[in-house]
Structure formats: C-alpha cells, structure tokens
Structure 1
C-alpha cells in the first residue's frame, strides 16, 4: 500500500506529530509491517489489513526507528575487486533530504586499508568524500549517530597479517583519507570509529590510543566515545573480524 495524504477528519492526525510517531512506532501494526522505498515513494504492506497514513509519517517512522548499515565490500572475499564505494554514495545521494534527515543511526563499513591499496589507488576516496558531503548536507547532525568501521583482511591459508594494517603510511591514511572528510560532520550526536587489527584484541593498548584520537579530530578534544555509549573492547565483536585463535 502506498502511503497517501491524511484524511482531515481522522482524529489521529490532530495529535502532536511526535506523539503520532511514538504511537505508530510502538504499535504492533507498524512492527508487523513491511516498509520499503520504490522510486522515492514509501510503500507499506501491513499484516492483517491496511491503513492510510501520510507519506512523511511513514518515512519518519522507517528512518527514525531503524539502524542502517552500508557495507562497501564483502568481508568473505580477500580480493579487493568487490569494493563498492560508488554504491554507498549512490544510495545516500538518492535518499531525499527528508528521509536522510530523519535517519538517526548509520554504520558505514569501509574496505581494508593496506599499503597495496594506497599504492595502486584501488580505493577511490573521492567517493568517500562525496558520500560524507551528502551526509553533511542532508543529515540532521544533532540527532545522528555515525559509526565508521575500517575492515580487515583474513586468509584461511595464510592467517591474519597484522603488519599489513599498522604501517605509518596506513595510520596517516586513517587521518587524511577517512577522518578528514568527517570534519564536515562536526555537530554529530555521536561518532564511533573502529580500526582493524592489530588494534584489536591482540593490541588493545594501541587501539585505545588510535581510535579516540581519530574521534577527537572530529568531535573535539573533550569527546569520549565510551561515555556516550560506544561498546568497550570486551563488550563488542566486529563483524568484519574473525577469531584469530579459531
């Protein structure tokens, strides 16, 4: 069912807007609904019946009460041929300002950064910069929580090469290529940055130095991600890391 304009005689629409959102978000009707976007139109298929609701309300509910994750590469393959930064930019760019402005939680999973990718130019950082520009122009920063995860490679036969992710050149790329564009997003509600091994369980001390420094480049020197909800090292698992001891 395509969401239509509200009927003025429906008393629900005379309630305060935020109360409308809360009622719909908490109702079983919405929880059992399938909401998708086709050609910039919000389409809702409701279990057990149908309802007319305004398009902007359906959009608000869909983007306000869901967490979104964009994976720009496939962690199951070692090859960098599956990197798709362009897909991330296209998705964000085609979202309306209203939709992206209501989004509260977004995770961006970036490909691994290794010396080879820096030398060969396999990562087109212009697409990353363009994606962040879209967020800067459309997102409502004071309500937006952004997580950026930098991936890591794993080879079943060769094991994980921790040295490939820890050279000074790569650490510089974290700052210049990944974090510098994020300066456009100053004013974010929360920013969580995750870097790969060896800044993981094998070297927590190094990771705890790198990640906060990168976050503070954007959020300010007094920013402490753990105080605003970032999971502690022993309390989270990163989907792109496998257990080195397995």
Structure 2
C-alpha cells in the first residue's frame, strides 16, 4: 500500500450565506431594497453595514428580517462571524412561525456563521431547527444543504455517528448534489471506510466530472487503498483541469510521494 501522507479532513461547508438568499419575481419594495443593499456590500462593505443598520432601525418586528440579512452577510464578508450569526439568528427568530421557508433560510445562514465563529454546538442546534423548517415546507434541496452543513460541526464535536446520519439525509434529500457526495467521500475516508468512500466519490465524479476537488479526493482514496495507478491518473486529472492552482500543487505533491510506476 502507498505511504502517501495525507491529513484527514472534516466536511467542508460553503462560506457565503448569501447563496441561500431568497429570490422572488417580481420583487416587493422591501426585496428591491435588499437587492440594493447586497449590491452595495459588493462595492463598499462599511457603507452596506451603515445602510442595513439604518434600515433595520426603521422597521418594526418582522420587518427587520431583510435588513438583518444584508447586515449579517456584510459581517460575514468582514470576518465578523459571531456578529453575522447574531444577525441571522435574530432574522429567523422575528420571522413569524407560519413563514417557515424564510425561517429555514435564515437558519441555514446562521449555521454557516456559527461554525465560522467557532460555535459548533450552536451551529448544530441552529441546523436542527432549520432542517425541520425546510422539511416542513417540502424544500428538500434546502433541507439537504442544511444537513450537509451540519456534518462538519458534528464531526468537530466528536459526534461522528450523527454526522454520518446527517450526510445520509443530505444524499437522500438531494441526490443530484455533487458537493454532498464529495463531502460524504471525505467523511468516510476519514473513518477509514475506503470502499464506501470510493462509491461516494464515483457518484460525485459522475455528477461533476471536471471538478478538481473531486479528482483530488478520488486520488487520495485510491492511494490509501493501494491503487497507485488509479491515484496517479486522478491526481494528473487535477493538474490538467486546474493548472497552476493550489489544488494542482497538492496533486503534484501527492504524485511525488507515490512509488514510481513499475518498469521505471
């Protein structure tokens, strides 16, 4: 078996809570103001924070949710993750209980911010509530993303069985998401379940054949299983699709650790 030196990893999560922002057409006046605020933060984050704070101060009750969404996203961009988590959490809490789709989205944003802030227990708690809201509304795609995002803090809390179950729910609720299959492969590999990891990474590759992250993980799994030829091919594919990237550099470093092909 190859002696490839590989650091074990925990599941990754997306880093931009704005990816789960609500989108509607035609937009209401409030939604148009949110869009303008989000556009502003891409150009001038401090000004966006000032605008979102001013807007939030003008709105009563649940009307504060949209400005808090912009404020939380701006805080994330600034690396103020705890403040972002507080904004997203407040947005969820002030949204009426019957508006579960919005509560699920704000909860999903809070999960990302809480993990980034280092509050793993808080992230898991927020994920549990947000996933339940998403399931109740029939949004299985969002429910899957939330379950996937919960896996990393669960691993970091030493709750591997619960992380395994969360990833299984994510795969079941959205089997077309290659990121879930990639993270599942990484998790199974970290648990030394290489045959299972191989099956997961094959599905990820079928769904996203030119993703260099998938190619790198496929190579790592193959190398750990002693399939040096397959590992070399997977690492070479990363260099081909992402030349000059940090992923390509890692792939080349792994290639350099593999035994020389037979006959050389």
TM-score with structure 2 setting the length: 0.33
**Which one has the bigger helix percentage?**
2
**Which one has the bigger strand percentage?**
1
Higher relative contact order (CA 8 A, sep 6+): 2
TM-score with structure 1 setting the length: 0.34
